[in-house]
Amino acid sequence: MASKKRKILVTSALPYANGPIHIGHLVEYIQTDIWVRFQKQRGHSCHYVCADDAHGTPIMLRAQQEDITPEQLIADTWTQHNADFAEFGVGFDNFYTTHSDETREFSELIYNRLHEQGHIHSKVITQAYDPVKEMFLPDRFIKGECPKCHAKDQYGDNCEMCSATYSPTDLINPFSAVSGEKPIEKDSEHYFFKLSDFEDMLKEWTRSGHLQDQVANKLNEWFETGLHDWDISRDAPYFGFEIPNAPGKFFYVWLDAPVGYMGSFKNLCDRTGLSFDEYWNKDSETELYHFIGKDIVYFHALFWPAMLTGAGFRTPSAIFSHGFLTVNGEKMSKSRGTFIKARTYLDHLNPEYLRYYFAAKLNSQVEDIDLNFEDFSQRVDTDLVNKVVNIASRCSGFIKKRFDGKLSADCAEPALFQEFVDANVNIAELYEAREYGKAMRAISALADKANQYIDDKQPWIVAKQEGCDAELHDICSVGINLFYAITAYLKPVVPQMVEKAEQFLNIETLPWPNKLTPLTDHVVNKFKPLLTRVDADKLAAMIEASKETLTATKPTTVKKSNTKKAPDSDTKLDTVEFDDFAKIDLRVALIEKAEHVEGADKLLKLTLSLGEETKQVFAGIKSAYQPEDLEGRLTVMVANLAPRKMRFGVSEGMVLAAGPGGENIWLLSPDDGAKAGMKIK
């Protein structure tokens, strides 16, 4: 244990109070919980707080659709989220809500301090407005026909079919997704946080060890293009907190969501006697860590530290960013049953399976991880059941039947036991650095050594030999003690399994292994199975249940206005002459490289080979494909499309895909034998 007791506050991203937790969310909460449990097991003072992000237009509209108040909606969602987290062993010290007095008070305090110092300004902007609902429309609530390819029912500023980018005002036949009415343009005063005021501070802060190198390097692009003001306001009607001295103006979630960390911790302090100021004052010497997904790291690593600094609070000690979850190598899919709700998983499988599997896959880098169901079963069965649990089951029967459950008076292998204890230094370093995968491999190596010891000593043979009871007693007692050490290392990852192990070992709680001494002349309880193997039928049933759940749940829709009919996605386009169609140069293209486009929700950047020529294309297929799944495959592209200047670069063509959009997109592929550059006739 470290000589000095650390004081640590840990937060992770606030789940939105508008839907259930799914296994993609759990990547963050499980890895954060493992780190927190490790710190607590080491004897440090570590507090983990979170909250539901409970404000915004989507929550207001969903509450209206369900004919309940927003308060009731977020209360119901909080109950669901809290139950899911608890069953997955995510041990929040406080799981709260942003719709709280504490969050409102901090939002107003921070805003007023920033405003007094001149870091807030207002300006009039023009927005789309729904004249029926009498509300301003975010881009996602405007639909229409793509101005480039004329695809129907496209949202926002990007076409899912052709990847064109545009202003929502450029949509053909635009209509409100809320009422069905055509939006109008209307002016409104909005409030902005002047991020550029903190450029020098942020340049130094982002390069001072607070971020992973990959994140710091990426953020540098923002400094190169210039920091933009952040819109922190929304107009009524809006479910949230009203901005002081600005009637009808509300804090956008980009402000009151991160303040929710502070609100949740303040609530914990008021209930437990902790000092809020000790953790949040500008000169605080306590530690503060954020775990966050890579998709929102810009906000947490730029806006949030700047806002805290401007308001006289401390900044995070570090921000730990992580990647996304894929399932069987692909983005989570409703049709395949791999878009799995936390509750659906819990209805079929032990939550500790997923905790261990994530731990075995996670590291400190900003990398996506994959949940492969075959690998999932094999790792759990091999590493936990066949190795760890097997150690106790191979020795406990002899101890119970032959020695009344009591271990030997002396440890017959003190050097071996000490070797297991001494491994704590390396394993602690791996946990601290969030190199969980390496930590699991180190623990698994200890389990291998323990099983090898039992194999070499062969207690099942010794038990049959006359006059060898003492030897048998020593062998099985050593085995139990090695199990004792191994389970102490696993306690942050599989706490429920280890709790059962503690009951078997007849001890109150397992400390970090550097505190362990051999259990001697000690009575253990009857051994009961700690963990069973993954049931293949239950795994299949979970996948099937995900399909059924999601196909049976109809998407929420709104009633269209009687005065204006929304465009029909089945309406056929006008016919074209053959000569016009013949002008299109369709070619087989090899996808040499595929990349995520930072800042784009729907786009992938493709480098396409046409044999003697290479083209760059931005394609709106991110919802259906991971980049690594595309590289090396053939597809079909429009090769003679005029280059289009897009927000993220120049697109030199178009790849062809079919489907309604979202996760249901299928990239066209030629038959075997086709070569890159071949003309399609």
Cα angle 436, 441, 442 (rounded to 5 degrees) comes to 95
pLDDT tens digits, residue range 46-85?
Answer: 999 999 999 999 999 999 989 999 999 999 999 999 999 9
Interatomic CA distance for residues 81 and 343, integer angstroms: 9
pLDDT at 165: 76
pLDDT at 558 > cutoff 50? no
Q: What is the CA radius of gyration of the chain?
A: 29
Report DSSP state, residue 586.
E
pLDDT at 559: 35
Query: Which of the residue ranges 107-111, 166-170, 365-369 would you say has the lowest mean pLDDT?
Result: 166-170
pLDDT at 187 > cutoff 90? yes
pLDDT at 565: 33
Query: Which of the residue ranges 348-357, 411-420, 561-570 would you say has the lowest mean pLDDT?
Result: 561-570
Query: Which of the residue ranges 18-27, 171-180, 374-383, 419-428 would you say has the lowest mean pLDDT?
Result: 171-180
Distance of CA 611 to the CA centre of its chain: 39
pLDDT at 557: 35
Q: What percent of the chain has pLDDT over 70?
A: 92
pLDDT at 163 > cutoff 80? no
User: In 513-549, which positions are buried (b, 16+ CB within 10 angstroms) versus exposed (e)?
Assistant: beebebbeebebeebeebbeebeeeebeebbebbbeb
Q: What percent of the chain has pLDDT over 90?
A: 67
Between 434 and 140, name the one with better pLDDT: 434
pLDDT tens digits, residue range 327-366?
Answer: 988 877 665 667 899 999 999 999 999 999 999 999 999 9
Please tell me which of 486-500, 574-588, 662-676 the model is most confident about, judged by mean pLDDT. 486-500
pLDDT at 567: 34
pLDDT at 671: 81
pLDDT at 92: 98
**Whole-number average pLDDT of the chain:** 89
pLDDT at 647: 59
Interatomic CA distance for residues 479 and 461, integer angstroms: 15
pLDDT at 245 > cutoff 50? yes
How much is the pTM? 0.79
Query: Which of the residue ranges 139-153, 274-288, 333-347, 409-423 would you say has the lowest mean pLDDT?
Result: 333-347
Q: How confident is the model at residue 566 (pLDDT cuts 50, 70, 90)?
A: very low
602 CB burial (10 A radius; 0-12, 13-18, 19+): buried
Q: How confident is the model at residue 577 (pLDDT cuts 50, 70, 90)?
A: low
Q: Is 427 helix (H, G, I), strand (E, B) or coil?
A: helix
What does the pLDDT average to over 546-568? 43
Interatomic CA distance for residues 90 and 342, integer angstroms: 12
Q: How confident is the model at residue 571 (pLDDT cuts 50, 70, 90)?
A: very low
Contact of 191 with 110, CB cutoff 8 Å? no
Q: How confident is the model at residue 599 (pLDDT cuts 50, 70, 90)?
A: low
Report DSSP state, residue 602.
S
Interatomic CA distance for residues 306 and 327, integer angstroms: 36
Contact of 233 with 55, CB cutoff 8 Å? no
The CA dihedral of 75, 81, 86, 91, to the nearest 10 degrees, is -90
pLDDT at 297 > cutoff 80? yes
pLDDT at 252 > cutoff 60? yes
pLDDT at 578: 63
What does the pLDDT average to over 171-180? 89
pLDDT tens digits, residue range 648-673?
Answer: 677 888 888 887 666 668 888 888 77
pLDDT at 641: 83
What angle, 0 to 180 degrees and rounded to 10, lies between the N-to-C axes of helices 495-505 and 390-403? 20
What does the pLDDT average to over 509-533? 96
